[in-house]
Amino acid sequence: METGLIAIATAIAIALSTLGPGIGQGIAASKAMEAIARQPEASKEIRSTLILSLGLMEALTIYGLLIAFMLIAKI
């Protein structure tokens, strides 16, 4: 019983930690491309800010993966 609950918790941790940042990355990239289209001369600043924000969002996914590995180690 406990093994099954840990497996479900692991699946939920992976699903939520990838779903949220994935949607956020899509929205951020969309808005960055829109901003570059409106102001091409600011593309370097927009691109560097986008890369930094995508890296921070990706860190959330890595934290979810770390939690999933910790849960799997309990099985």
Domains present along the chain, CATH in parentheses: 2-73 (1.20.20.10)
Q: What are phi and psi of 74, to 5 degrees?
A: -80, -15
Query: E-assigned strands of the chain?
Result: none
Give residues with Cβ within 8 angstroms of 10, minimum separation 6: 68, 71, 72
Is residue 22 within 8 Å of residue 51, measured between CB atoms?
A: no
The residue to which tokens 């986008």 are assigned: 50
Q: What is the pLDDT along the chain (75 residues), one digit of tens a residue?
A: 788 999 999 999 999 999 999 999 999 999 999 999 999 999 999 999 999 999 999 999 999 999 999 999 987
Tell me, what amino acid is at 47? Answer: R
pTM: predicted TM-score of the whole model, two decimal places: 0.79
